[in-house]
Chain A
Amino acid sequence: MSEAVAKLAGVEGSLRGLLVLEFCGDEPSGTLGTQILSDLGATVIKVERPPQAEPQPTPEPEDGKVRPDIAYMFGLNRNKRSLCLDLKSERGVAVVRDLVRIADVVYDNYKPGVMQRLGLDAESLRALKPDIIACSVSGFGHSGPWSQLPAYDATVQALGGGMSITGTGEKGSPPVRWGNPIGGIAGALYAVIGVLAALRRRRSEQRGAVLDIALLDAQLAMNSYRVPPAMAGIKYSASPRRGGSGALPYGPFKAADGRWFVLGITRQFWATAAKVLGHPEWIDDPRFKTEQDRQANEDELNALVGEAMQAHDADEWQRRFVAAGIPGAKVTTIPEAFEHPHVALRDMLVSFDHPVGRHLKVAGNPVKMSNHPFKGFRHAPGLGADTRGILGELLGLDAASMSKLREEGVAWWPMQGEVYDRPSVV
């Protein structure tokens, strides 16, 4: 069986043979977590709703431009397989139950209670597979007064405390959320850690686990070293001109071309930074001699650095700071970020061998494992593209039984070509 499972993996990797069933909406809290598992070699089956009517196959884009919703889908679902089942039908759920019997992990990000309604709550799963690892990711978790409340990335970022320390720091300026949906992303990262830890324990104790990961909890945990002082009364606010360890000068300054360039000059880099900025005399200036001095004369220093930064364009500053080996960085756009020389060296921008996917590029896997040199990702699956393969090879159904399931609307796969229309995608 594990060979048949491994054959469906998108890439060869450390988690070879691990079968993960995904019951998730489009949000990264679910799809990013299972994608990380699939990047590491697990076989991830995305269980999806069949379409309402027979959809048209998705053509290769004529102008090379893929629709944003399809691009979104590729960003969070590479290496996975798609199985279309009607979970409102008893027989659809029966197919899922058969899959659970051979699965290792069931991962959902539905509102608490939904898996129960489907008959797929942790207890039911355990009855089918005693050592199953059931991982649920939700906004507020399965316990507590807010467990039934829907969460949005913005509200989770607000409630978690992170927004109160993000912004321009100007009086009256609104709090800012991180542009990437870290609420869901952090939940996914913790969920993957929980799943892998449970897997380790299963090996030694033959015992499964039920994980209840809340996006809010993840935000709270990431406040990390600010929590003990904060709980003892120390106040934190948005301070774009101060680093965590008191580094100065710090934060975004405008370069000659109007682009922002970020500094983060800790003590050990100050002398070098003064030279790079063209002002070696600052090193012996009594106002700026020690970090304490620099903090005491922060406004003067920032004004002088602001002027000095006008001498060159951001790219030239970047060249000079890298040559000196000290932290300084241009605020790049996302496409610019991927022009970094480091990206090509480390396979961090990846395309696909696929009619739609070859027009797209996604971020690579940041976890580099020496036993598994990168050989490319498998494309994100079309809707229901793997339904027959999964029913046949993992559950042993013959062609006639599969067709019957399709006729009865229990299972679905496209009759011709690949379908990338998913009505639910953001």
Chain B
Amino acid sequence: MQEASLPLSGVRVLDLSTVVAGPYGSEILGHLGADVIRVEPPPAEAPWPPRARGEAVAETEGFTFALQRNKSSLCLDLKSKDGVAAFHALVKVSDVVYDNFRAGVLKRLGLDYAALKAINPKIICCSITGFGSEGPWAEVGAYDVAVQALSGSMSITGTGEEGAMPCRWGVPVGDIAAGMYAVIGILAALEERERSGKGQAVEVSLLDGQLALNTYRVPQAFGAGVDFGVPSPRRGGAGAVPYGPFQCKDDAWLVIAVASNFWRAFTVGLNEPTWLTDKRFLTLKDRQANQPALDALIEAKLRERPAAEWEAILIERGVPCGRVNSIAEALEQPQAAARGMCVTFTDAGGRVVAAAGSPLRFVGEAAFPQRPPVGRGADSGTSLRKAGFGDEQIAALKAAGATDGADL
């Protein structure tokens, strides 16, 4: 095994982002080795108290451990002249400035790309907005559910029953996709800068990210006359039948996806050899034509055992299926465990907090380390020294209220 060498070591990111979309992206950069400095308003937080083994993990801590790990934190008051001056000094020694403010905010603070480019022509500024920096919607607050609604994807998500409520994906994909596209833009800009020596501004809006994820449905809607409703939960992309969620003995759901090449193995797994010769189910066309009858048989059959047993039986025969796992079950399933997808952090007092690992797997190299999150202002002194500030200057900044921190 080769020693891990972090792909983004030497890249410094000033991270002004908050909530989900921005931090999701900057956490990825931090995990890949970038020096990500969260820049947050003072005051600094008191150091986190040690937590004893077994102490509860609060829902709000989920955001901290998932989205703020692999970053350090600097307190700067960007509404003060001194704070902005310190930020400018940091820009000189940084590669990326990353934000998800509403359109116009950065400009008011004097921190937009035009201003920062004058300080460091190689700087890459990445902004995530809800609806872009101009146009009638530029000032409208974006929220994951609103973006999912506006992008069309909610109109194709639901139970498929007549008149049923449209559903959003429970995972905030509106935020997350924008965060990932932002990372892609930043990395592309870094690559270009290696060749040209020039920085640039990168912009991603939550709505654009969602529109792009409609991928093939867009030309199918505009040019092929395809009309999309909620896809039947019991039909797969290529018309596979049987397909979709079925409830098992333990009330848990099992999703099956039985394309023609798995039909035989499926009937063997269910121990229903007569289905194989049943005239109603001989070909995919037959199974599609007689789907209500087939679904009814499967519904009754799958009620005979718990979902986990059916999953094991079918997987053993190579038939694609999957339990509708809770999030904890998902992280604990053997395949996830084998891939090291659950990582843990240990608090000073011995409490263990689990989080999802990274899907970015470099084969033959040790997994990139996961650094625990730190409180607001934990690294203010260290960060300012990186920008060339001496102790006296830092003390003056603190006295002026422009910074605060645990290590000052």
Contact = CB atoms under 8 A, between A and B. Distances in A.
Residue of A13, A14, A149, A251 with highest tally of chain B CB at under 10 A? A14
Interface stretch (A49-57, A60-68, A88-96): A60-68
A151 interface: yes
B152 A363 contact: no
Interface stretch (A197-205, A399-407, A413-421): A197-205
A335 B159 contact: no
A331 B156 CA distance: 10
Contacts of B178: 366
Interface string A364-378: 111111110000000
Contacts of A326: 140-141
Contacts of A247: 143
B181 A367 contact: yes
Interface in B122-150: 131-132, 134-137, 139-150
B43 interface: no
B213 A180 contact: yes
Contacts of B173: 178, 182, 222
A347 B330 CA distance: 38
B245 A197 contact: no
A272 to B, nearest CB: 10
B228 A334 contact: yes
Contacts of A161: 325-327, 329-331
A160 B165 CA distance: 23
A337 B353 CA distance: 40
Contact of B356 (A141, A150, A223, A327): A223
21 contacts: A72-B219, A75-B216, A161-B325, A163-B245, A166-B169, A174-B253, A200-B7, A221-B359, A225-B66, A231-B57, A238-B167, A244-B20, A264-B145, A333-B228, A337-B211, A345-B132, A364-B212, A365-B212, A366-B204, A368-B208, A370-B113
Interface stretch (A187-195, A274-282, A295-303): A187-195
Interface in B293-336: 315, 318, 320-331, 333-336
Interface in A304-322: 321-322
B109 interface: no
Contacts of B284: none
Nearest to B216: A75
Chain A, interface size: which category?
35 or more
Given A36-B184, A322-B136, A227 B62 contact: yes
A189 B362 contact: no
Contacts of B360: 190, 193-194, 197, 211, 213
Closest 3 CB pairs of A and B: A165-B170, A179-B156, A75-B216
Given A146-B315, A165-B171, A179-B157, A190 B359 contact: yes
A232 B222 contact: no
B168 interface: yes
Contacts of A211: 360-363
Interface in B1-41: 5-8, 10-11, 20, 24, 28, 32
A175 to B, nearest CB: 5
Contacts of B142: 327
B151 interface: yes
Nearest to B141: A327
A147 to B, nearest CB: 8
Contacts of B241: none
B115 interface: no
Contacts, number: 526
Contact of A228 (B62, B143, B320): B62
Contacts of A331: 149, 154-155, 166
Contacts of B90: none
A180 to B, nearest CB: 5
Given A145-B338, A222-B176, A196 B157 contact: no
B157 A178 contact: yes
Contact of A68 (B226, B318, B333): B226
B355 A228 contact: yes
B221 A181 contact: no
Interface stretch (A285-293, A354-362, A383-391): A354-362
A75 B219 contact: yes
Nearest to A326: B141
Contacts of B205: 342, 346, 366
A360 B326 CA distance: 40
Given A149-B318, A212-B363, A329-B149, A204 B181 contact: no
A153 B238 CA distance: 11
Contacts of B171: 162, 165-166, 178, 182, 222-224
A337 B150 contact: yes
A409 interface: no
B172 interface: yes
A167 B167 contact: yes
Contacts of B20: 224-225, 244
